[in-house]
Chain A
Amino acid sequence: MLLYIIRRLVQSVLVMLTVALIAFTLFQFVGDPINNMVDQDTTLAERERIRKELGLDDPVIVQFWRFVENAARGEFGVSYRLKKPVAELIAERFPATLELSIISAILALGIGIPMGVYTALNRERWTAKLFMTLSLIGVSLPTFLIGIFLILIFGVQLRWLPTFGRGEVVDLGWWTTGLLTASGLKSLIMPSITLAVFQMTLIVRLVRAEMLEVLRTDYIRFARARGLKDRAIHFGHALKNTLVPVITIIGLQVGAIIAFAIITESVFQWPGMGLLFVQAISEVDIPVMAAYLMLIAFVFVVINLVVDILYVVIDPRLRTES
C-alpha cells in the first residue's frame, strides 16, 4: 500500500512538472517578456542588459528550473494587466473561489447523490422519470444562461438577492470570508446555485448509471435469490459498492466546479480567480495565466491523490493488487 501511494506521489510530481513546462512555454513563446517591461525607444544595448540581468540568456533548461523554483515558492512575477505581484492577486482571490466552490459542491453532491440513488432504485416510478427529464434539461442549460435568468428574476424583478460580488466580507488576515455576514451569505446564494445546477444534473446521471451497473452484478442477484430484503440489498451491498466510482465522481466534480466557477464568476462579477483568469486570457496576461494553471493543476493533483488513497481504504481488493 505504501508503495502504491509513493507511486501515485511520483506521478503527481510528474504531472506538476508537465504543467509547469506548459506554463513555462507560455512565457517563452507568447510575447517577449522584455517588451512588456521597456519602452519603444529603449536601445538594443539596454534591452540586452536587462535580458542578462533577468537571466533570460541562460540555457533554456536553467531558466526552466528557475521557473519551477519560483513557482514552488509561489512567485510568478507581476501581472501585466493589474500591475501587482501575481502571488498577492491569487491570495486575494483564492478565498472567494474556494468558498463559492465548496458551497456549490455541497449543494451538488448533497442533492445529486441521493437523487441518483433514488432514480436508480425506483426506475419505473414517475418521480424518478421526472427527475431524469429534469436532469436532462439541466445538462442542456448552459451555466451562463441560468445565471442571467436568476439575476433577472431574483435580483432585478423581485430584488431579493444581490446580483454581483461577495457582499461584505470579514478579513481574517490570511483569509477573507463572506460566510460570516448576512450580505455575504445572501451574495452566495445565486452564484452557488448557478454553479451547482450543471454539476448536480451530471452527478444524478452518473450515480444512477453506477448504481444500475452494480445492481446487475451477480452477487446482488445471489443476494436476491437468497431472499434478502430489498432494503438490505440496496443499502447494505449495492450502495457500498457504488462508493468507489462515486468517490471518483466527487473528485472529478470538485475539480470541475472550480473550473466552471470561471463562468459563474464572470456572470456575477464574483471576485475570484476565475474572473481573474478570464480577464487574463482576453488580455494575454501571461503571469496570471501561468499561475492560475499551476494552482489549479495543484488542486487537481491533490484531489486525485486523495481520491486514490481513499480507493485503497474503501476497496480492499486494490490493496492486494498493489
Chain B
Amino acid sequence: MKTKLRSLALAGAAAAALLASAASAQEFRYAFQADAQSLDPHGLNETFTLGFLGNVYEGLTTYDADMNLVPALATKWEVVDPTTWRFELRKGVRFQEGQDFAADDVIFTWKRATSKESGQKARASLIKDIRKIDDYTIEITTPGPVPTLARELAWLYIMDKEWSTEHNATEAATPAQAGRENAYATTHANGTGPFIVVSREPDVKTVLKRNPNYWGQPKTNVQKVIFTPISQAATRVAALLSGQIDLAYPVPVQDWKRINAAPGVTALTGPEARTIFLGLDQWRDELTNSSVKGKNPFKDVRVRAAFAHAIDLNAIRDKIMRGASWPSGLMWAPQVNGYNPKMNTPYKYDPALSRKLLAEAGYPDGFTVGMDCPNNRYVNDEKICQAVASMLARVGIKVDLLAQPKSKFFAKVLASGGYDTPFYLLGWTPGSMDVHNVLSNLIVCRDKERNRGKYNLGGYCNKRVDELTDLIAAETDPARRQAYIDEAAAILQKEYGYIPLHQQPLSWGVSERVSVAQRADNVLDLRNVVVKE
C-alpha cells in the first residue's frame, strides 16, 4: 500500500499570516503537543523525538515524503548473503561542527546504541558485528536474516566518534540522566543533517537554523525554524488560527471544520500508520486492580472475546473521531509492509454475544477492572477510553479508568514500571514500516534475552506466533512470507490476544504560507517544508 503525500499547493501570500506574525520570509514556526524528550538520538525510541532529531541527525538510510526508503549517509547497499549487508558510505559529509563522517562513526554509533542506557537496544541488537572494509565501506552481519535491516537503520542516527569522545558522551543517556556528567548529548547535538540546533529551552522553545554545509539538496527553503511545544489543544489551534504559527499538530479532529473555514489555514489529514489498540493482561495469575480475586479472567479467551465484541468501533469512528478513523481488525496499518486487506476484519460489535460469553466464563454479572490510558499521546485517547468504559458498562463490566499524562502512563505500564496494568490503550507505528516490527515488539512472548516483546504489556504468548515471527524475519520469498504473516494474524485474531481499534488520522493544521509533506508516520521532515514568498 502506498502512502499518500499531501502537500498544499496554494499560491499567494496568506493575508492572515501577516496580521499577527513577525515572521520573516524563510522562517518556519511550528508547534507540537509535546517537546522532544532529549537531543540524544539513542536515548529513547519515541516517534516524535526521533522524527524531530531526524532534522539534525541522519541515519544510513531515510524515508522520503512518500515513505519510500532512500539513501542518506549510505549511498547504496546490497545483501551479500542473508546475514551480511554491505553499505557504501557517502563521501565528503561533515558533521555540523566540522568533523568528517566515516566508517568509524557508524561503528561507534552502533556500539553506543548497545550501551547500557540505550533506548535503541532493540535496533542495535539486529546487528551482530560491523566490519570496516575501508573508510567508506562497511559490512554488517546480523545474528539471523533481517530483511528489514535497511529500514530499521533509518532510525539509528549516526553520531560523531570524535565529538562524543571529547564530550564524554560515548554511552547513550536516557532523558532521565540529563544534567549528569555523561549526558552532554542530551542537551547538545552535532549531526550531519540539514538543520543545526541554535538554542533550546526544554518545553518552551527550540530554534534551528539551516546547515550551510549540508551535503544534500533538500526541497526546503527554510533558513530558520522555531519549534514551540504547546500542550493544550485549544491553545495550539488558537495559535494557528491567529497566524502565530505556520503549522500545528496534532489538531483535534473536531476542529477541522473550523480550521478549514478560517482564512489562510487548512486542516491536512490522512490515515496515519499508527494502530490504536486495547491490551489485556494475560500474564499475571491475579489481575491487579480488579474485583476478581485469586485468578485472572483475561486468561479465559471467552472473556477477551466478550471485551472485543462489546466495543462499537463504528460509533467511536463516527462520534469521537468525527468519521476520521479507520476501524481495524489487524494490529498493523495498510501502509505497513505485509498488510493483507483480506485479513482485516474487525471484531463484530455484538453486546448480546459479549454478555453470553461473560456468563459462560462465569461472570454473569460482570466484574470490575482498572484501565490505564494516556491523555496526551494519541488522537482523543482519553475520550476513546471513556467511550470504551461506557460500552463495557453496557455488558456489565465496570471499568475504573485512570487517564494520565503520557510520561506517568508509560512509567506505569511499560517494562520499567513492571507492566503494571490490567487493561490499557496503546498505539503503535512500526518504525521499519514492516509487520515484523509489530510482531517482534508487541506480539511475541516477552523475551528479555532476545530483546523481544518488550512492548507486549499484557504478556500475550503463543509459541507458534513466535516461530512464525522468526520465519517472517528470515523469509525472502514474498508469497511465503505473506503466508506466515497471515497465519500469525489469524492466530492472534482467534485468540483475541489484542483488541485493535483503529488507525487514527494524521491531523495537522497548516498555514497557506507554507507547503509541507505529511508523512504517514506523522513525522514532520523539515526537508520537505517550503515557505512561499
Q: B-contacting residues of A (Cβ < 8 Å)?
A: 36-37, 39-40, 78, 80-85, 89, 92-93, 148, 151, 155-156, 159-165, 167-168, 181-183, 186, 266-269, 271, 276, 279, 282-283
With A81-B407, A159-B16 as known contacts, state yes or no: A271 contacts B179, CB within 8 Å.
no
Q: Map CB proximity to A onto B412-454 as digits: 1 under 8 Å, 0 otherwise.
A: 0001101000000000000000000000000000000000000
Select one of A40, A168, A183, A268 contacting B235, CB under 8 A. A268
Q: Which 3 A-B pairs have the closest CB atoms?
A: A83-B178, A78-B179, A163-B238
Q: B479: CB under 8 A from chain A?
A: no
* Bound-complex Cα distance A36 to B407 (A): 13
Select one of B22, B202, B243 contacting A181, CB under 8 A. B22
Instruction: Give, as a whole number of angstroms, the nearest-CB distance from B282 to chain A.
Output: 21
What residue of chain B has the Cβ atom nearest to residue A36's Cβ? B176
* Bound-complex Cα distance A81 to B407 (A): 8
* Bound-complex Cα distance A271 to B243 (A): 19
Number of A-B contacts (CB under 8 A): 96
* Bound-complex Cα distance A82 to B200 (A): 12
Q: List 18 A-B contacts (CB under 8 A).
A: A40-B416, A84-B178, A151-B238, A155-B241, A156-B238, A159-B20, A159-B242, A161-B20, A161-B242, A162-B239, A163-B239, A163-B242, A165-B239, A181-B22, A269-B231, A271-B201, A279-B231, A283-B405
* Bound-complex Cα distance A84 to B232 (A): 22
Are B230 and A269 in touch, CB under 8 angstroms?
A: yes
What residue of chain A has the Cβ atom nearest to residue B229's Cβ? A269
Select one of A84, A165, A182, A266 contacting B22, CB under 8 A. A182
Are B244 and A282 in touch, CB under 8 angstroms?
A: no
Are B241 and A159 in touch, CB under 8 angstroms?
A: yes
**B residues in contact with A282, CB < 8 Å:** 405
Select one of A82, A148, A162, A266 contacting B203, CB under 8 A. A82
Instruction: Give, as a whole number of angstroms, the nearest-CB distance from B367 to chain A.
Output: 30
Q: B187: CB under 8 A from chain A?
A: yes
Q: B177: CB under 8 A from chain A?
A: yes
Give the one of A40, A159, A163, A268 with max B CB within 10 A: A163
Q: B180: CB under 8 A from chain A?
A: yes
Are A92 and B201 in touch, CB under 8 angstroms?
A: yes
Are B416 and A39 in touch, CB under 8 angstroms?
A: yes
Instruction: Give, as a whole number of angstroms, the nearest-CB distance from B407 to chain A.
Output: 6
* Bound-complex Cα distance A167 to B205 (A): 11
* Bound-complex Cα distance A124 to B486 (A): 85
**B residues in contact with A84, CB < 8 Å:** 178-179, 187, 202
* Bound-complex Cα distance A195 to B350 (A): 52
**B residues in contact with A186, CB < 8 Å:** 20
Are A283 and B407 in touch, CB under 8 angstroms?
A: yes
Further pairs besides A37-B176, A151-B238, A161-B242: 16, Cβ < 8 Å: A83-B38, A83-B178, A84-B179, A92-B204, A159-B20, A163-B235, A163-B238, A163-B244, A164-B230, A165-B228, A165-B239, A167-B22, A183-B21, A269-B235, A276-B203, A282-B405
* Bound-complex Cα distance A52 to B176 (A): 20
* Bound-complex Cα distance A96 to B178 (A): 24
* Bound-complex Cα distance A39 to B13 (A): 52
**B residues in contact with A266, CB < 8 Å:** 232
Select one of B16, B186, B242 contacting A162, CB under 8 A. B242
Are A164 and B244 in touch, CB under 8 angstroms?
A: yes
* Bound-complex Cα distance A181 to B239 (A): 18
What residue of chain B has the Cβ atom nearest to residue A282's Cβ? B405
Q: B329: CB under 8 A from chain A?
A: no
Are B242 and A40 in touch, CB under 8 angstroms?
A: no
* Bound-complex Cα distance A300 to B472 (A): 65
What residue of chain A has the Cβ atom nearest to residue B21's Cβ? A183
* Bound-complex Cα distance A253 to B509 (A): 40
**B residues in contact with A81, CB < 8 Å:** 407
**B residues in contact with A155, CB < 8 Å:** 238, 241-242
Select one of A168, A269, A271 contacting B232, CB under 8 A. A269
Instruction: Give, as a whole number of angstroms, the nearest-CB distance from A96 to chain B.
Output: 9
**A residues in contact with B193, CB < 8 Å:** none
* Bound-complex Cα distance A21 to B418 (A): 33
Are A162 and B20 in touch, CB under 8 angstroms?
A: yes
**B residues in contact with A83, CB < 8 Å:** 37-38, 175-179, 183, 186, 202
Select one of B202, B239, B416 contacting A164, CB under 8 A. B239
**B residues in contact with A162, CB < 8 Å:** 20, 239, 242, 244
Instruction: Give, as a whole number of angstroms, the nearest-CB distance from B421 to chain A.
Output: 15
Are A156 and B405 in touch, CB under 8 angstroms?
A: no
**B residues in contact with A37, CB < 8 Å:** 176
Q: B408: CB under 8 A from chain A?
A: yes
What residue of chain B has the Cβ atom nearest to residue A275's Cβ? B203
* Bound-complex Cα distance A200 to B16 (A): 34
**B residues in contact with A92, CB < 8 Å:** 201, 204
Instruction: Give, as a whole number of angstroms, the nearest-CB distance from A70 to chain B.
Output: 14
* Bound-complex Cα distance A168 to B27 (A): 13
**B residues in contact with A85, CB < 8 Å:** 179
What residue of chain B has the Cβ atom nearest to residue A92's Cβ? B201
* Bound-complex Cα distance A85 to B408 (A): 20
**B residues in contact with A276, CB < 8 Å:** 203
Instruction: Give, as a whole number of angstroms, the nearest-CB distance from B121 to chain A.
Output: 12
**A residues in contact with B234, CB < 8 Å:** 148, 151
Select one of A89, A159, A182, A271 contacting B205, CB under 8 A. A271
* Bound-complex Cα distance A40 to B418 (A): 8
What residue of chain A has the Cβ atom nearest to residue B40's Cβ? A83
What residue of chain B has the Cβ atom nearest to residue A184's Cβ? B22
Are A164 and B235 in touch, CB under 8 angstroms?
A: yes
Instruction: Give, as a whole number of angstroms, the nearest-CB distance from A202 to chain B.
Output: 27
Q: Map CB proximity to A onto B240-265 as digits: 1 under 8 Å, 0 otherwise.
A: 01111000000000000000000000
What residue of chain A has the Cβ atom nearest to residue B180's Cβ? A78
* Bound-complex Cα distance A269 to B187 (A): 23
What residue of chain B has the Cβ atom nearest to residue A165's Cβ? B228
Instruction: Give, as a whole number of angstroms, the nearest-CB distance from A50 to chain B.
Output: 12
* Bound-complex Cα distance A207 to B341 (A): 73
